[in-house]
Amino acid sequence: MDSQTKPEPMRVLVTGGSGLVGKAIEHVVKQEGGCLEGEQWNFLCSKEANLVCSARDLQQTRAVFEKYRPTHVIHLAAKVGGLYLHMKENLHFLRDNLRINDNVLQTSHERGVTKVVSCLSSCIFPDKTTYPIDESMIHNGPPHDSNFGYSHAKRMIDIQNRGYFVQHGRRYTAVIPTNVYGPYDNFNCENGHVLSALMHKTYAAKKEGTPLQVWGSGTPRRQFIYSLDVARLFLWVLREYDEIDPIILSVGEEEELPIKDAVEMIADALDFKGQIVFDTSKSDGQMKKTASNAKLRRYLPDFTFTPLSEGIKKTCDWFVNNYDIART
């Protein structure tokens, strides 16, 4: 083979393409020049295929792979929800996500996909641990009880990636973003992620002239990362990151802050002047899960993250301007 022959352009299939991170990747690909010449990017939504089908019936998953013939896969599809939905339905989150992940990874292997980048979550780390958390600590103990089903299903992607590499030489890997927020999130007040749910609650409280009710004490600390930053890093992982072991995508430890501070930023962004009430009868969930981004910084020391106040303002503006189409 001629050493000068260019590799075949990637055909990328993004599962979960209509969700928070999928829409952000689509923006980076189509609006920021993220698509290189000759590449094909296909963003799969849940309406196009049921990836939760049983292991005995992979027809829908296989049909999608046959249709798009991906050389690379970004695997975002998952059954997701907010803290309180996880607490009510841990078994459903476990079973559905195990099925989704196994269907996508096994079909990728069967079809000879060169690389899969799956999306994990910082909730997979042990509840009782030392801080900051890093990539070597994923399996050091059980996750927090509030979302153990989802967490264990996500952990198994790391185990499967290792298995596909050891047994078949597949270069499948995963990223671990901290708390992602941004346009196209699920803004449902009960089942959405913390910032998006708070944005909707604040919007409604302002409109109705009522106090803003925040579930929990507001004291748990989180590292929030803007969805477009995650998308830009996903493309780097897809093209450049060659490890099987996962990598944490996060702002620095010094950027971790109490949810109460984020509530104030949301109130400012939406010009909410009313009373803010913290309902301490509601669970706080995990009080902190400080993650180290030292590994990411070794690779990308100069990557610039969107400041939280700026990202919150952009997301609030998107929500207000797109309220009719937002997931609420």
pLDDT at 184: 93
* Domain assignment of residue 324, yes or no: no
Residue 110 scores a pLDDT above 50: yes
User: pLDDT grade, residue 48 (50/70/90)?
Assistant: low
Over range 287-316, report the average pLDDT.
96
Stretch (H or E) spanning 152: helix 148-168
List the single range of 275-279, 293-297, 300-304 with lowest mean pLDDT.
275-279
User: pLDDT grade, residue 1 (50/70/90)?
Assistant: very low
SS3 for 12-39, per residue?
A: EEEECCCCHHHHHHHHHHHHCCCCCCCC
Tell me which residues are annotated as active site: 150
> Would the pTM count as exceeding 0.75?
yes
* Domain assignment of residue 144, yes or no: yes
CA-wise closest residue to 39 among 20, 21, 25: 25
* Domain assignment of residue 193, yes or no: no
Q: What are the pLDDT digits (tens) for 132-144? A: 999 999 999 999 8
Over range 51-77, report the average pLDDT.
82
Distance CA(119)–CA(77), nearest Å, equals: 9
Over range 98-102, report the average pLDDT.
94
User: pLDDT grade, residue 109 (50/70/90)?
Assistant: very high
Residue 52 scores a pLDDT above 60: no
Distance CA(200)–CA(220), nearest Å, equals: 20
Over range 195-211, report the average pLDDT.
94
Range of the domain at 97: 10-184+223-253+289-306
pLDDT at 296: 98
Question: Exposed/middle/buried for 204, CB within 10 Å: 0-12, 13-18, 19+?
Answer: middle
Number of domains into which the chain is organized: 1
* Domain assignment of residue 201, yes or no: no
Residue 75 scores a pLDDT above 50: yes
Residue 212 forms beta bridges with which residues? 276
Residue 175 forms beta bridges with which residues? 119, 247
User: pLDDT grade, residue 327 (50/70/90)?
Assistant: confident
Distance CA(114)–CA(111), nearest Å, equals: 9
pLDDT at 221: 93
Average pLDDT, the chain: 91
Over range 12-36, report the average pLDDT.
94
Enumerate long-range contacts of 322-328, CB under 8 Å, 24 or more apart.
322/183, 323/203, 326/184, 326/187, 327/184, 327/185, 327/186, 327/187, 327/188, 327/192, 328/187, 328/188, 328/189, 328/200
Q: How many CA atoms lie within 13 A of 317 on its CB side?
A: 6
- Residue 180 DSSP code: E
* Domain assignment of residue 217, yes or no: no
* Domain assignment of residue 208, yes or no: no
* Domain assignment of residue 258, yes or no: no
Instruction: Write the CATH number for 92.
Output: 3.40.50.720
Task: Confirm if 74 and 15 have CB atoms less than 8 A apart.
Answer: yes
Q: What are the pLDDT digits (tens) for 217-234? A: 999 999 999 999 999 999
pLDDT at 6: 63
* Domain assignment of residue 22, yes or no: yes
Peptide bond into 132 cis (omega under 30): yes
